[in-house]
């Protein structure tokens, strides 16, 4: 039995038990013995299915309710006393209404269930970057996933001591009905309430809810940044440089974080190190540089499309101790997904629990999906073959470049270097991308996704931009800011850039620019690589492809300004002057009135 000496925490647990009325309350200690016990219980109750022990040691299969397969942004709210503090990009509810509405759904929601109390740390326990949360949940699936994605148990409670600060994270799957689903953030109370979903970002409250929405609010108050960014180390000649990169959900962050150098660059002896694949917390270090830490301890990666061509390191990471959710379960107790590894099993059960065979059609005559497009693997980060020796360094890693990116078929060049911090913030604030399957909504639709944080900024987007501008003043040696687009297509709709490992060619140029090397041409929108500045050794691009990839079309960018204007107009007087100045300056440069 775990001993909690934190009276406020104990009182909150008691109070919650009175509302949810579980059969029993269990405090997680984080031990190995506990993991085995909980896995057995989850299997006995039908929440997990053990996979073939030889092929997938320590791995389990899980299926969520078919109505509960992605984050539900329309049911996600920021609950602040003042509506303006949530801003125009968030759904808002008053804290009073939020608590009252959700309390109805939490009432008696844990009858017949165990209430798990999970003390967890985002970031290595005791690091100056780290924050502590306690998640209360009635989902054993959530409890087991939290053990992989965060550091849980006794050591966290010890760190919390008798009166330490923590985020109160209350979760119940309740009846997993969309009508009873709410994901509520109360940043003024350091509290999250999530009910009616048991999937991913809606339910693993350390991830998007704490490490981005609540943390971004805290970061603004405390002078740091909580961002939707991977962290990557690039080692050459014994020296490692680090970059962070922000892309909208399911745009290949995990692939970039685990990149393998392409054949043509092998002779340069690069080693790539994965520090994080989704979230970065950034603080100014004693040396005046920006330092980053990955607050998570695992990967919750998209399965479809992951194979040993696209991401061999992910495939090696997930061969043991991994939970697979909403993929295909083979009758031979293996897992498979579209664009996955090797041949599919001869027969199995798909993500909806329906019998599946290769080539099987659904009721409309379309190929029956094996895995849901947003199906996931949850795997310990430490299992990644490229995991950085510094990934748990309490001081984090120093950042040379911040890279923003979006999925755009046209407009944005392969890579662009901003003209300075404020222009970089402008570039980040205007990121737009075609929507993917990671959230409910129309796939393919272009939406603005500032800093790839649109669904995750826990406060007013205008204040968030202002905070970025202020951070630029607070970092004596700021990283350079870039924008990349791996997804540009030709007139026939074919991708112009191969992506994956070849993205190192772009990162190589970015790092050379950070060192004051690397040749570039100045355009109205920023610097692009000079002809021949990217190392294309061993890459057979179609003739003219590189020119198309780097082309900056003034008319298209002028048209883009209209979209930016419309988006900025939503911010009203919260739009920082520095950004409206950047907008005006870009407009003038595009007119050719000032020298690019």
Distance CA 61, CA 324 (A): 5
Nearer to Mn ion, 249 or 400 (CB): 249
Q: Is residue 4 packed enough to be buried (19+ CB in 10 Å), middle (13-18) or exposed (0-12)? A: middle
Q: Which does 405 bind (CB under 5 to 8 A by kind): Mn ion, ligand O2Y, none?
A: none
Pick the closest to residue 398 from 478, 316, 323, 333 (CA basis). Answer: 478
Distance CA 235, CA 101 (A): 51
User: Where is 143: in which H helix or E strand?
Assistant: helix 140-149
70 binds ligand O2Y (CB under 6 A): yes
Number of residues in contact with Mn ion under rule CB under 5 A: 2
User: Where is 21: in which H helix or E strand?
Assistant: none
Cα dist. 280→231, 232, 277, 291, 470 in Å? 7, 11, 9, 10, 18
Distance CA 432, CA 355 (A): 39
- Measured N-to-C along each axis, helices 421-429 and 461-474 cross at an angle, to the nearest 10 degrees, of 160
Contact 483, 412 (CB under 8 A): yes
CB of 230 to Mn ion, least distance (A): 9
Location of structure tokens 């920082």: 576
278 binds Mn ion (CB under 5 A): yes
Nearer to Mn ion, 249 or 350 (CB): 249
277 binds Mn ion (CB under 5 A): no
Distance CA 62, CA 49 (A): 7
Distance CA 477, CA 307 (A): 39
51 binds ligand O2Y (CB under 6 A): no
Location of structure tokens 């890693």: 397
Pick the closest to residue 74 from 178, 199, 187 (CA basis). Answer: 178
Cα dist. 332→107, 314, 392 in Å? 41, 22, 37
Q: Which does 429 bind (CB under 5 to 8 A by kind): Mn ion, ligand O2Y, none?
A: none
CB of 123 to Mn ion, least distance (A): 17
CB of 405 to ligand O2Y, least distance (A): 13
Contact 195, 109 (CB under 8 A): yes
Q: Which does 421 bind (CB under 5 to 8 A by kind): ligand O2Y, Mn ion, none?
A: none
CB of 77 to ligand O2Y, least distance (A): 16
Nearer to ligand O2Y, 379 or 427 (CB): 379
**From candidates 249, 350, 369, 375, binder to ligand O2Y by CB under 6 A:** 249
Distance CA 17, CA 108 (A): 9
CB of 373 to ligand O2Y, least distance (A): 10
CB of 207 to Mn ion, least distance (A): 8
Nearer to Mn ion, 257 or 471 (CB): 257
Residue nearest to ligand O2Y (CB): 200
Q: Which does 374 bind (CB under 5 to 8 A by kind): Mn ion, ligand O2Y, none?
A: ligand O2Y
Nearer to ligand O2Y, 60 or 199 (CB): 199
322 binds ligand O2Y (CB under 6 A): no
Nearer to ligand O2Y, 114 or 310 (CB): 310
Contact 495, 256 (CB under 8 A): no
Location of structure tokens 């870039």: 482
Nearer to ligand O2Y, 16 or 321 (CB): 321
Active site (annotated) includes residue 251: yes
Nearer to ligand O2Y, 252 or 576 (CB): 252
Nearer to ligand O2Y, 199 or 557 (CB): 199
Contact 288, 256 (CB under 8 A): no
Distance CA 131, CA 125 (A): 8
523 binds ligand O2Y (CB under 6 A): no
**From candidates 374, 383, 400, 418, binder to ligand O2Y by CB under 6 A:** 374
Q: Which does 127 bind (CB under 5 to 8 A by kind): Mn ion, ligand O2Y, none?
A: none
Distance CA 71, CA 282 (A): 25
**From candidates 68, 278, 341, 502, binder to ligand O2Y by CB under 6 A:** 278
Nearer to Mn ion, 90 or 249 (CB): 249
Distance CA 584, CA 591 (A): 11
User: Where is 60: in which H helix or E strand?
Assistant: strand 60-62
480 binds ligand O2Y (CB under 6 A): no
Pick the closest to residue 200 from 370, 76, 46, 384 (CA basis). Answer: 76
213 binds ligand O2Y (CB under 6 A): no
Number of residues in contact with ligand O2Y under rule CB under 6 A: 11
Q: Which of 79, 169, 209, 251 is catalytic?
A: 251
- Here the tokens at position 330 are 């083979």
Q: Which does 300 bind (CB under 5 to 8 A by kind): Mn ion, ligand O2Y, none?
A: ligand O2Y
Stretch that binds Mn ion, among 112-120, 245-253, 423-431, 561-569 (CB under 5 A): 245-253
62 binds ligand O2Y (CB under 6 A): no
Q: Which does 424 bind (CB under 5 to 8 A by kind): Mn ion, ligand O2Y, none?
A: none
Say how many CA atoms lie within 13 Å of 140 toward its Cβ. Answer: 21
199 binds ligand O2Y (CB under 6 A): yes
Pick the closest to residue 134 from 101, 95, 94, 164 (CA basis). Answer: 164
Stretch that binds ligand O2Y, among 148-156, 182-190, 198-206, 545-553 (CB under 6 A): 198-206
Q: Convert residues 391-430 into a mask of x (bound to ligand O2Y by CB under 6 A) and - (unbound).
A: ----------------------------------------
Distance CA 57, CA 42 (A): 17
Q: Which does 201 bind (CB under 5 to 8 A by kind): ligand O2Y, Mn ion, none?
A: ligand O2Y
Pick the closest to residue 312 from 282, 351, 272, 279 (CA basis). Answer: 272
CB of 203 to ligand O2Y, least distance (A): 8
Residues in touch with ligand O2Y (CB under 6 A): 70-71, 199-202, 249, 278, 300, 374, 438
Residues in touch with Mn ion (CB under 5 A): 249, 278
Catalytic annotation, residues: 251
């Amino acid at each position: 039995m775990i001993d909690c000496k934190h009276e406020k925490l104990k009182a909150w647990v008691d109070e919650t038990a009175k509302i949810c009325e579980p059969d029993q309350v269990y405090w997680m200690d984080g031990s190995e013995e506990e993991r085995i016990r909980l896995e057995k219980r989850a299997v006995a109750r039908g929440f997990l299915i053990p996979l073939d022990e030889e092929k997938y040691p320590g791995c389990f299969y899980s299926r969520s309710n078919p109505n509960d397969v992605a984050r539900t942004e329309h049911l996600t709210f920021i609950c602040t006393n003042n509506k303006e503090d949530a801003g125009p990009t968030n759904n808002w509810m008053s804290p009073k209404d939020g608590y009252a509405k959700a309390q109805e759904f939490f009432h008696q929601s844990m009858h017949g269930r165990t209430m798990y109390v999970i003390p967890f740390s985002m970031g290595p326990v005791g690091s100056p970057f780290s924050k502590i949360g306690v998640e209360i949940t009635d989902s054993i699936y959530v409890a087991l996933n939290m053990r992989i994605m965060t550091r849980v148990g006794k050591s966290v409670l010890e760190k919390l001591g008798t009166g330490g600060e923590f985020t109160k994270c209350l979760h119940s799957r309740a009846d997993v009905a969309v009508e009873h689903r709410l994901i509520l953030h109360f940043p003024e109370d350091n509290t999250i309430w999530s009910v009616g979903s048991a999937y991913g970002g809606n339910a693993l409250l350390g991830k998007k809810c704490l490490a981005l929405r609540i943390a971004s609010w805290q970061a603004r108050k405390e002078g740091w940044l909580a961002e939707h960014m991977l962290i990557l180390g690039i080692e050459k000649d014994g020296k490692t440089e680090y970059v962070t990169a922000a892309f909208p959900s399911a745009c290949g962050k995990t692939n970039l974080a685990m990149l393998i150098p392409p054949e043509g660059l092998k002779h340069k002896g690069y080693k790539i190190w994965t520090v994080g694949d989704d979230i970065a917390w950034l603080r100014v270090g004693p040396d005046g540089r920006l330092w980053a830490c990955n607050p998570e301890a695992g990967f919750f990666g998209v399965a479809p499309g992951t194979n040993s061509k696209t991401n061999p390191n992910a495939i090696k990471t997930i061969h043991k101790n991994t939970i697979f959710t909403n993929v295909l379960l083979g009758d031979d107790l293996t897992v498979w997904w579209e664009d996955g590894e090797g041949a599919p099993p001869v027969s199995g059960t798909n993500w909806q629990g329906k019998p599946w065979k290769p080539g099987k059609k659904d009721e409309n005559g379309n190929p029956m999906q094996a895995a849901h497009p947003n199906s996931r693997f949850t795997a310990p980060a430490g299992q990644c073959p490229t995991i950085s020796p510094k990934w748990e360094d309490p001081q984090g890693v120093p950042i040379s470049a911040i890279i923003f990116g979006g999925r755009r078929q046209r407009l944005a060049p392969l890579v662009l270097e901003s003209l300075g911090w404020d222009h970089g913030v402008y570039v980040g604030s205007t990121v737009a991308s075609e929507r993917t399957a990671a959230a409910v909504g129309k796939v393919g639709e272009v939406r603005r996704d500032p800093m790839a944080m649109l669904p995750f900024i826990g406060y007013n987007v205008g204040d968030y931009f202002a905070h970025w501008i202020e951070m630029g003043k607070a970092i004596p040696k700021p990283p350079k800011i870039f924008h990349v687009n791996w997804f540009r297509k030709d007139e026939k709709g074919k991708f112009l850039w191969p992506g994956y490992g070849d993205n190192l060619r772009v990162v190589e140029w970015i790092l050379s620019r950070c060192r004051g090397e690397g040749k570039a041409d100045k355009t109205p929108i920023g610097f692009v690589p000079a002809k021949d500045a990217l190392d294309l050794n061993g890459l057979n691009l179609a003739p003219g492809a590189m020119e198309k990839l780097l082309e900056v079309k003034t008319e298209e960018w002028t048209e883009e300004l209209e979209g930016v204007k419309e988006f900025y107009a939503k911010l009203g007087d919260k739009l920082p002057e520095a950004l409206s100045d950047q907008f005006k300056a870009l407009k003038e440069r595009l007119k050719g009135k000032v020298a690019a």
